Amino acid sequence: MPSQPGMPAMPAPGQYPSPTQLSQTAGAYPAPGQPLADQGPKQPKAGDFDAGAQARFPNGPDAMGTYKTWNWVAADVKGRYFLLPTVTANFNMPLAIIHPDTITKPIDGGGMSTLSPKLFGGMSARLEATLPKLPKMPFIKNDIDLGLSLAVSYMHDGAVLLSEKDYPLFTGDFHPGFNGALIMKVKLSDLFDFSLLPAWVWQKEGDGSLTAFQMPSALIIKLGNALKLSIDLSIYTGNNYTFGADGGGRLGTGAALDLKIGPILAHLGGGFASLLTSDVGPYPTISDSVYFDFNVKYAK
């Protein structure tokens, strides 16, 4: 029969859905007037990448030994490429855009040391891989993601011991380095995640080598798919696993806000590079260790 004006067309013979088809499609579409279900954030796939630069404004000494924010400005050029959804290749090139021509620092045992900072810190390449989702264990209440991070670098003396909260003191010659870390992320709830990244660090230096332990940790609060807040507490030892501030040990803390707007990822953070202080260490006082950072990346 021909359709009357304003009425839907009649289906052709044999085009009526069967009860089985109706049961399979039930719930696949929202009821009239209801919004589409939230599909969550986009999941990465092989071939995706992001790249950008991070600007850092850490407190650091000038030629007279006075710590101020604008004495040093660092920029880290970064890139990440997804080889697989759970495997990424990462690149980092740290730069000291603004730095004093020379700085003078007290050394343990008395006396002063004069250093000549440089612009180019070197470069590093890192491979990160996370394991497939582990099955739920009866004795473990929370989901746990595990992975491994392996990095090789070619940087100035001691540069591999620096964190992204420290002022970019690049001095001496270039030497190869290595960083091996265990990636651990615990899903505490739909709102909270906890991440831990214990790492062993090594770098060649003269006839010997530098060795250190680093353990950044963060509590991540997810405020929707596009916004998250993180609060971190991180341990960085000096050479030979020295935890004390006299030997270069630091206990850093801070907070950061990450925002995703389309393909743009923005990050804003700040805090203290070290709560451990010493006249012969990197930071004489806690206020001397204040830092700020800003990061913008393009993600595809």
Residue 166's closest CA among 114, 91, 238? Answer: 238
Provide the strand spans (E) within the chain.
49-58, 60-61, 67-68, 73-84, 87-98, 103-106, 112-115, 122-130, 143-157, 171-187, 192-196, 199-205, 208-222, 227-236, 250-261, 264-272, 290-299
25: CB partners within 8 A, 6+ apart: 17
Q: What's residue 195's pLDDT?
A: 95
Could you give the residue ranges of the DSSP H alpha helices within the chain?
19-25
pLDDT at 36: 47
**CA–CA gap between residue 92 and residue 57 (Å, rounded):** 18
How far is residue 285's CA from residue 223's CA, in Å, rounded to a whole number?
A: 34
Cβ 252 vs Cβ 266: under 8 Å: no
pLDDT at 23: 42
Q: What is the pTM of this model?
A: 0.80
Amino acid at 281: G
Spatial CA neighbour of 244 closest among 279, 218, 216: 279
Whether the Cβ atoms of residue 166 and residue 282 lie closer than 8 Å to each other = yes
Q: What is the pLDDT along the chain (300 residues), one digit of tens a residue?
A: 455 555 545 545 445 444 444 444 444 444 444 544 445 556 788 888 889 989 999 999 999 889 998 999 999 999 999 999 999 999 999 999 999 999 988 877 777 888 999 999 999 999 999 987 766 655 556 688 899 999 999 999 999 999 999 999 999 999 999 999 999 999 888 899 999 999 999 999 988 999 999 999 999 999 888 899 999 999 999 999 999 999 999 999 999 999 988 889 899 999 999 999 999 899 999 999 999 999 988 877
Judge contact between 201 and 212, C-beta under 8 A: yes
> Which residue bears the tokens 């009357």?
4
